[in-house]
Amino acid sequence: MSHKDIITLPKFISKVPKLVLSMPSIIKGLKLAADTDKSKTVGVGYCVEKATESNPAGISIMQDNRTLSYYEFNAWANRIAHYLISIGIKKGDTIALLIENRAELLSCIVGCAKVGAISAMVNTTQRNRVLIHSINLVKPKLAFVGEELVEAYNEVADKLLIPDSSKYFIADCDTLKNTGVEPAGWLNLASVITNERNDNPITSRSIFYEDPCFYLYTSGTTGLPKAVVTNHGRFMKSYGAFGIATLRLKASDRIYVSLPFYHATALQVCWGSALAGGSGVILARKFSVSNFWDDIRRYEATAFGYVGELCRYLHNAPTKPNDKENKLRLMVGNGLRPNVWKPFKERFGIDRVMELYASSEGNIGFSNMMNFENTVGFCPYEYAIVHYDKDAGQASRNHKGYMNKVKKGSVGLLIGKITPKTPFYGYTDTDKTEACILGNVFEKGDTWFNTGDLMRDIGFKHAQFIDRTGDTFRWKGENVSTTEVELTIDQIDKISETVVYGVEIPDTNGRAGMAAICLDCKESEFSFEALLFDLKKEVPEYAIPIFLRINKNVETTGTFKHKKAPLKEAGFDLKKQDNPVYVRLPKAKSYIPLTEKIQMDIENNLYRF
């Protein structure tokens, strides 16, 4: 992050003309985002119905060789909603969704939303213990499971709270044309909704601001995933602030989304913005460097969603003569690094980078509506960036017991004031909710949400994201819980103690996982291949450590907390430690000893992690 990115008055004034032209949309969007009227009909179903009214024949979803109009998509979701009502599902009930990126996932979300049921957006990469925890945590009445994930579900079915008679199969095909054949013991969702009505259910008019809409899962710092409650009002904030005020998509626009919809960037920002404009969403099952630009051209996308890693992968691919042959006007997402930002825009001919900052549980957000370089943008809500003591792991307080804001250009902890317009709804776990609230920050009795993120104040209510605090780190666009990975490794035979942390690899986004482990056997007797095999069964690919450090013991504090600072400082640099270090190179099936040559190659970016 460079101090060159600080916004001066001349820089700000240079953006004013374009800002003035967009002001009607900005005012409309921010006004909607700030509306907390609890008596108004709002929500995902309402937004789909509104888009259908304004653009019934317009493209709603494109995927593979299928294109759905808003009318067709809304009617499909209505059939699901009417079926749910017929079997007694009501407002506040939870339905677990375990489906990869495809039209069936979105229709199920909207069908649930129109009834007032809560969609538990289960991470499709979770397996075994973590999957059991995530599903049982929210006590679902039903499960909608895509054919592609039936095997993962069956592995844990006997440990789930969901009755065996309440699991619904969704074939991995265009289920509007082919319902598929369900396995024994499963209900086929496409079959049971066939004769349901196409009209909007009356329940969709009884969805209000505080009614829960989704459970999104976040790793946090305390081990297994936490379920974040996202209500319909929060979706409307994204719809207004990002969709109407920032992206300003039109009915002719199409936004390409290869990010997973169990994350808020795809679910709320990209999709919410499309609904706000009556625009089309192009669904990619998964992100692919080789398919990305072909898809962009094939579907004539005018926008796309990203996380920083996605852009780096695309930028690292060999240049082609047709790099600028696309209809893209803008990109929206988070985590775009400064060293990629401008080169990426210039190479692919993209004018607007709508970088944003938000979290599934947070009460504030930023968006780069003025199109500055290297910033998460502007926040219309009350926030502060305060002094942070890295050694103590918390915001520092002055002699009066209050916090102090950092000066312009300085880095500190981002906090958001909790008010009626910026509430913090928290998690399903009350203790975890309370742990995120800071009291008596600037005056007696005030309350603020601790984002756990470090930001630089660059002026004019704009900020730059710097890093995460605590026991999480970000890798491949995902937040990794060190505690979750530690608990998994600790259960592996011949490992007595584990410390997991993130380390920097040059020219990559975020931090790669590294685990310091203590062995109960000689190093030569330990199977690193078996370790990797066991990790793949229990944790997502992005959470598997890249590096291993073999320790004789782990240094702790007086309260028996692991001292991670020295480990992070040493990283995987062999010159900074006497301990053996192992590495899992890209696509390798085991860990191998890290040598000076391999370390040099990694630092010179000869391996793509």
pLDDT tens by residue, 482-531:
877 888 898 899 998 899 999 999 988 889 999 999 998 999 999 999 99
501 in the same domain as 437: no
233 in the same domain as 191: yes
477 in the same domain as 446: no
8 within domain boundaries: no
Dist. CA 223–CA 75, nearest whole Å: 41
Residue 242, domain CATH: 3.40.50.12780
315 in the same domain as 183: yes
Average pLDDT of the chain is: 92
Among the candidates 468, 503, 538, a domain finishes at: 468
494 in the same domain as 443: no
464 in the same domain as 477: no
Among the candidates 441, 468, 495, a domain finishes at: 468
Question: Is the Cβ–Cβ distance between 463 and 366 less than 8 Å?
Answer: yes
411 in the same domain as 321: no
7 within domain boundaries: no
15 phi, psi to nearest 5 deg: -90, -10
Instruction: Name residue, tokens 């969609």.
Output: 119
24 within domain boundaries: no
497 in the same domain as 429: no
Binned at pLDDT 50, 70 and 90, residue 3 comes out as: low
Dist. CA 412–CA 404, nearest whole Å: 10
For 41, other C-beta atoms within 10 Å of its C-beta total 14
Strand partners, 66: 63
Q: What is the pLDDT of residues 12-63, one digit of tens each?
A: 899 988 888 899 999 999 999 989 899 999 999 999 999 999 999 999 999 9
The helix-helix angle for 289-298 and 308-316 (nearest 10°) equals 90
At position 166, the amino acid (one-letter code) is: S
574 within domain boundaries: yes
Strand partners, 437: 449
pLDDT of residue 221: 47
Among the candidates 468, 494, 520, a domain finishes at: 468
Name the region of 199 (left: φ>0; alpha: ψ -120 to 50; beta: rest).
beta
Dist. CA 80–CA 293, nearest whole Å: 34
Dist. CA 571–CA 565, nearest whole Å: 10
The yes-or-no verdict on residue 1 having pLDDT over 60 is: no
Q: What is the pLDDT of residues 431-456, one digit of tens each?
A: 888 889 999 999 999 999 999 999 99
Q: What is the pLDDT of residues 205-254, one digit of tens each?
A: 999 999 999 999 986 444 688 899 999 999 999 999 999 999 999 999 99
Distances, alpha carbon 317 to alpha carbons 62, 130, 311, in Å:
26, 34, 10
219 within domain boundaries: yes
Dist. CA 100–CA 132, nearest whole Å: 18
Question: Is the Cβ–Cβ distance between 375 and 2 less than 8 Å?
Answer: no
pLDDT of residue 536: 92
pLDDT of residue 421: 86
Residue 386, domain CATH: 2.30.38.10
pLDDT of residue 557: 54
- Reduce the secondary structure of 100-137 to three states and give it as a string: CCCHHHHHHHHHHHHHCCEEEECCCCCCHHHHHHHHHH
CA-based nearest residue to 422, from 30, 26, 28:
30
516 in the same domain as 437: no
Tokens of 252: 């002719």
Dist. CA 96–CA 149, nearest whole Å: 13
Residue 551, domain CATH: 3.30.300.30
Q: If 0-12 CB within 10 Å is exposed, 13-18 middle and 19+ buried, where does residue 184 land?
A: exposed
Domain that holds residue 450: 382-468
Q: What is the pLDDT of residues 375-392, one digit of tens each?
A: 999 998 999 999 998 767
Q: What is the pLDDT of residues 322-378, one digit of tens each?
A: 999 999 999 999 988 887 899 999 999 999 999 999 887 889 999 999 999 999 999
Query: Which DSSP symbol is given to 152?
Result: H
Binned at pLDDT 50, 70 and 90, residue 556 comes out as: low
Q: Looking at residues 465-487, what average pLDDT do you find?
A: 80
Binned at pLDDT 50, 70 and 90, residue 466 comes out as: confident
1 within domain boundaries: no
Name the region of 53 (left: φ>0; alpha: ψ -120 to 50; beta: rest).
alpha
442 in the same domain as 509: no
Dist. CA 331–CA 100, nearest whole Å: 22
Q: What is the pLDDT of residues 559-585, one digit of tens each?
A: 446 788 889 999 999 999 999 999 999
19 within domain boundaries: no
414 in the same domain as 351: no
Q: What is the pLDDT of residues 103-140, one digit of tens each?
A: 999 999 999 999 999 999 999 999 999 999 999 999 99
The domain tally of the chain equals 3
Give SS3 for 24: helix
Detail the DSSP E strand segments found in 249-390: 254-257, 280-283, 303-307, 330-334, 352-357, 366-367, 377-378, 383-386, 388-389
582 in the same domain as 493: yes
370 within domain boundaries: no
